[in-house]
Chain A
């Protein structure tokens, strides 16, 4: 009790003093440690800590770290994507972070930077850490022949492969628009070069706590299907309480003749005003024999809010299969024609077609125009 008072007193004094920000120690090894295996095809060339600060935040100390790691592709194949694992093992043994950079085109021997901007908040009474507070390591690297390297503890390999396939699809599609001089369609596709034309944002909170904060009701989950999808969502239900979603269950059917290893389920949330938001895509390890039907269920609680943090009440839910991994390791992703045919809602269609590469090319178009985009597509293809 006495310690609590002392702590609170310290917080109070620090806050009344104007909550100043202090430059963090210049010794970067105390804060960040970057470690790659010696046989890694991607190695850290240099590591720099930009001006970082520590400050009092409530009853905790917040450390703002801004770092840049320069990596070199030491393999013989072009690198197309990688994931760095970010951990604060002593403070957060149950939580991890990652920084993924897909849509890369790093030739053998070339270097490229990866930026790390993070904030670590720890209570005053937290035990001191022995080594560096944050550890950065390689989780997975994917090359242009779709081979990969890395421990893949965050299961990022599958995501990187999906992003690479989507990137190739989108580049082909835009290259065809350019080739056929369909510039109007290309401009529409890339938001006319405007940065702020994008669907409204949702905020999320995920916990393992299954207790509903209000009265719970069961709603049926609508389904949407891409015409060529080998696995389709048949139907499902979920428990909903205001802006909370619990234990969604979806019945899936393998329509193909190939056994399936895992399915990525996309979720669309419709709020009470009838606005649709693509909430995200959730992978489910789900072995499905040919023509087999099974139920995928998820545990935990997902809360929705708008960008300002105000709760968004769930009006309806829609699920669709966004990609499929077969037992032989091959992946299925929806084609552009699939996306066109799946929905007539232009906002939803745009959200469904927005891959990381699409986002990058839209940025290139915004900054460099048609000519820059043409050069970029020539280089990448």
Chain B
């Protein structure tokens, strides 16, 4: 709920709720700032305060004693009905205010969760896994062509042969020298740091 429209004065209902302390925190603050700088609204709030004071004084003066209440049933009934009417009207206003707040809370919670998920994904899931999932989704939805046959691929960490969705990767250190060893094979050559032996890992498509 917006208590004020930009460039406009608050509604009388908003000013009445403000005076009664029934506005949400943010709307109350905005209205307070506006009322302080607006003589017209100050005047209206002042008149409301006066009326409220008069009503309070009158109500105090007219409060029935137990004996009077028993004696004047019709007056008591009118007073009770009036109180109920005021209560229902106030409840409607407050109910409306609560809806807005609830919606805002839920939206903030959902946005927060999404942001937390994105941040967690970016910081915890390696890029290659994201690409794997993206490719899997693309293939599943039929947007990416299925790679047919056997594919050999080198990466800084290994040489791999991939076929039918399965991959065999022979790992190597980043210092390895990678080269093509045949039209259907590639190899990585390095000196094994533990054994001191030259080791050549190869993959083949057959």
Chain A residues proximal to chain B, CB less than 8 Å: 4, 8, 11, 15-16, 18-19, 57-60, 86, 88, 91-104, 112-115, 117-123, 126, 134, 154, 159, 195-196, 198, 201-209, 267, 278-283, 298-300, 302, 307, 309, 354, 356-357, 359-360, 363-364
Contact B125 A102 (CB under 8 A): no
User: B171 at interface (Cβ–Cβ under 8 A)?
Assistant: yes
Q: Within 8 Å CB of A201, what residues of B?
A: 177-178
A98-B204, A101-B199, A356-B198 are known contacts. Are A60 and B178 too (CB-CB below 8 A)?
no
Other CB < 8 Å A-B pairs besides A118-B169, A207-B150, 14 of them? A15-B129, A91-B164, A97-B168, A100-B187, A101-B199, A101-B200, A114-B197, A122-B166, A201-B178, A204-B154, A206-B184, A208-B150, A280-B179, A282-B180
Chain A residues lying within 8 Å of B195, measured Cβ to Cβ, are 112-115
Rounded to whole angstroms, the CA-CA distance of A168 and B194 in the bound complex is 24
A-contacting residues of B (Cβ < 8 Å)?
A: 117, 124-125, 128-129, 131-133, 135-137, 140, 147-156, 158-159, 161-172, 175, 177-187, 189-192, 194-206
**Complex: A75 Cα to B115 Cα, angstroms:** 65
Q: Are A11 and B168 in contact (CB-based, < 8 A)?
A: no
> Does the CB pair B198–A60 fall under 8 Å?
no
**Are B133 and A99 interface neighbours, CB within 8 A?**
no
Which of A11, A134, A359 lies in contact with B191, CB distance below 8 A?
A359
Q: Which 10 A-B pairs have the closest CB atoms?
A: A58-B132, A280-B180, A95-B161, A280-B179, A59-B136, A117-B171, A100-B200, A91-B166, A356-B198, A121-B167
Which residues of B have CB within 8 Å of A154?
Answer: 202, 204
Min CB gap B127→A, angstroms: 11
List, in ascending order, chain B residues with CB within 8 A of A11's CB. Answer: 133, 136
Complex: A137 Cα to B137 Cα, angstroms: 37
Min CB gap B141→A, angstroms: 10
Q: Which of A95, A115, A119, A126 contacts B205 (CB 8 A)?
A: A95
Q: Is the CB of A204 within 8 A of B136?
A: no
Determine how close the nearest CB of chain A comes to the CB of B200; give it in whole angstroms.
4
Q: Which residues of chain A are near B128, meaning CB under 8 Å?
A: 57
Contact across chains for B136 and A100 when beta carbons are under 8 A apart: no
Q: Are A206 and B169 in contact (CB under 8 A)?
A: no
Partner of A204, one of B165, B168, B169, B186: B186
Q: Please, which residues of chain A bring their CB within 8 A of the CB of B169?
A: 118-121
What residues of A have a CB within 8 angstroms of the CB of B167 in the complex?
60, 92, 119-122
A97 touching B204 in the complex, CB below 8 Å, given contacts A57-B129, A60-B132, A204-B153 = yes
Please tell me if the beta carbons of B177 and A359 are within 8 angstroms of each other in the complex. Answer: yes
Task: Give bound CA distance, A270 to B179, whole Å.
Answer: 15
* Complex: A138 Cα to B63 Cα, angstroms: 106
CA–CA, A95 to B181, complex, Å?
15
Smallest CB separation, A241 vs chain B (Å): 17
Write the chain B residue with the least CB distance to A104.
B197
Given the known inter-chain contacts A101-B198, A280-B186, A360-B197, please indicate yes or no for A94 contacting B178, CB distance below 8 A.
Answer: no
In the complex the two chains form, is B204's CB within 8 Å of A95's CB? Answer: yes
Q: Distance in Å from the Cβ of A252 to the closest Cβ of chain B? A: 16
**Which residue in chain B gives the minimum CB-CB distance to A118?**
B170
- Residues in B neighbouring A354, C-beta threshold 8 A: 177
- Whether the pair B151, A19 counts as a contact (CB closer than 8 A) is no
Q: How far is the CA of A24 from the CA of B158 in the complex (A)?
A: 20
Contact flag A206-B205 (CB < 8 Å), given A4-B140, A359-B189: yes
Q: Nearest residue in A to B178 (C-beta to C-beta)?
A: A201
CA distance A278 to B125 in the complex (A): 35
A57: B residues at CB distance < 8 A: 128-129, 132
CB <8 Å contact, B200 and A102: yes
Does the CB pair B168–A118 fall under 8 Å?
yes
